[in-house]
Amino acid sequence: MENTIIKTRVVGVDISLERTTYAIVDIRGNIIASEHMETLTYGSSNEYVTTLCERIIELVSNNGGYDTIRSVGVSAPSANFITGCIENAPNLPWKGVIPLAALMRDQLGLAVGVANDAHATAQGERAYGSAHGMKDFIVLNLGFGVGSCFFSNGREHQGMSGNAGEFGHTCINEQGRACTCGKTGCLESYVSHRGIVLTAQEVMAESDKPSLMRSLERLSPRTIFECCEQGDELAIETYRRTGHVLGVALANYASVVNPEAIILAGGISQAGHWLLDPMKETFEKHVFGGIRGKTKIFASTLDNRTRDVLGASAVAWDVKEYSLFK
């Protein structure tokens, strides 16, 4: 009698602007093998997907073979789990709607699930990180944009059309900064790579105090953070304002969701207490009184380099197994 082959691994793919990482990950989140390639050097999304699939096939062939792989999960900007598509990603060169899951499934012969980066991060935090065991929590992804995802009673909240969690485009100030999305006053205009740099410039313009930031060749969340670490007053003020804005917005988010925890991931969350302390202070001041002091807020403890493929691998486990050959 033929034996059932138990598939104990998945492929997790993290698509970000800087590069695409694809890895074989086992049930417990061990990364068996991992490689990366460019994201932006391909002429079309089709060319990119074809190359990516060839690379994945090669990686799998060299590391245990196809029979060990259950499915594939992809974390990508503006990806939608319900439709399987990347939908009008503002930061990617591929315009319109790209049926990424279908394209990859056809080339790989395996089930493929896609999710935007915040949703993938949340799945990873639940499977392998600090949200393990939590039923209701929010994960924020702070980087070039502000993504979020929350879980409701143990399940990812996806919303009617898979678009839930667009926290970055909530309005925090109607008369505020112009957002790249065309709206005004979006949270993302303040709490993002671009937003923090703008705030730093505002802070410097408003004051004639000396600042290490004034002599920086390039302002970035990281260089501003380094100024904070050296005690630079205006850099600290920059993160204070950022934390304050985020604190108000998160208090509103938490007042409607009532999460056990809010977990911050992404490059900007690495600013640590310079961001988190003012954020928490404002949060507690503004959150609904009945839950004041009851929400855990902290930065992700997963390793930065592996978080994204781990999250993508968690998405892979969430799709139904499928094979061309049975």
- Alpha helix locations (H) across 134-272? 193-206, 221-229, 233-257
Which residues ranging from 220 to 239 are in contact with a copy of itself (CB under 8 A)?
none
CB atoms within 10 A of CB 83: 17
Instruction: State in angstroms the smallest separation of the CB of 219 from a copy of itself.
Output: 26
Q: Does 76 bind a copy of itself (CB under 8 A)?
A: no
Q: Does 27 bind a copy of itself (CB under 8 A)?
A: yes
Close Cβ partners of 141 (under 8 Å, ≥ 6 residues apart) = 117, 118, 121, 147, 148, 265, 266
Give the nearer residue to a copy of itself in terms of CB position, either 143 or 162: 162
Length of the chain: 326
Q: Does 171 bind a copy of itself (CB under 8 A)?
A: yes
CB atoms within 10 A of CB 174: 8
Give the nearer residue to a copy of itself in terms of CB position, either 100 or 204: 100
Name which position in 34, 220, 255, 270 contacts a copy of itself (CB under 8 A). Answer: 255
Instruction: State in angstroms the smallest separation of the CB of 210 from a copy of itself.
Output: 28
Instruction: State in angstroms the smallest separation of the CB of 208 from a copy of itself.
Output: 26
Which residues ranging from 284 to 313 are in contact with a copy of itself (CB under 8 A)?
285-286, 288-291, 294, 296-298, 301
Q: How open is the CA angle 319-325-326, to the nearest 5 degrees?
A: 75
Binding segment for a copy of itself among 38-46, 165-173, 193-201, 222-230 (CB under 8 A)? Answer: 165-173
Q: How far apart are CA 221 and CA 256, in angstroms?
A: 29
Which residues ranging from 107 to 146 are in contact with a copy of itself (CB under 8 A)?
128-130, 132-133, 135-136
Strands 137-142 and 79-80: unpaired
Which residues ranging from 172 to 231 are in contact with a copy of itself (CB under 8 A)?
174, 181-183
- Alpha helix locations (H) across 8-162? 45-61, 100-108, 117-128
Name which position in 42, 66, 94, 317 contacts a copy of itself (CB under 8 A). Answer: 317
Give the nearer residue to a copy of itself in terms of CB position, either 36 or 157: 157
List, in sequence order, every beta strand (DSSP E) within 95-165: 97-98, 112-115, 137-142, 146-152, 155-156
